[in-house]
Amino acid sequence: MSIDETAARQVGLREAIARIQNMRDEADADYSHAEPESSAEDTLYVERETLDRVLDVLQILYHGGTPMQGAQAIASGSEK
């Protein structure tokens, strides 16, 4: 991968991380206002957890990790 390709990849990953973080923040705000023990709260919890895993994978890739390391992060997150 050339330096230009690597730089473009990093920019794309940074943008994706920022978008997912914004989505995560919105889900977190919605979760804090959800009716306790409701299906909406459950749905928002799953959304937050999913976005957290996506962020983990993007950050692994951003810092030079491989897609396999990203897959392992998802697998280990689902075991928690």
Q: How far apart are CA 8 and CA 79, in angstroms?
A: 33
Q: How far apart are CA 9 and CA 29, in angstroms?
A: 30
pTM of the predicted model as reported, rounded to 2 decimal places? 0.72
| pLDDT of res. 38 | 87
pLDDT above 90 covers a percentage of the chain that reads 32
Q: Return the domain boundaries, the chain.
A: 3-78
At 34-73, the pLDDT tens digits run 888 889 889 989 999 999 989 988 988 888 888 788 778 7
Q: Which two tokens stand for residue 37?
A: 């023990």
Query: What value does the CA radius of gyration of the chain take, rounded to a whole number of Å?
Result: 15
The amino acid present at 18, given as its one-letter code, is A
Q: How far apart are CA 13 and CA 27, in angstroms?
A: 21
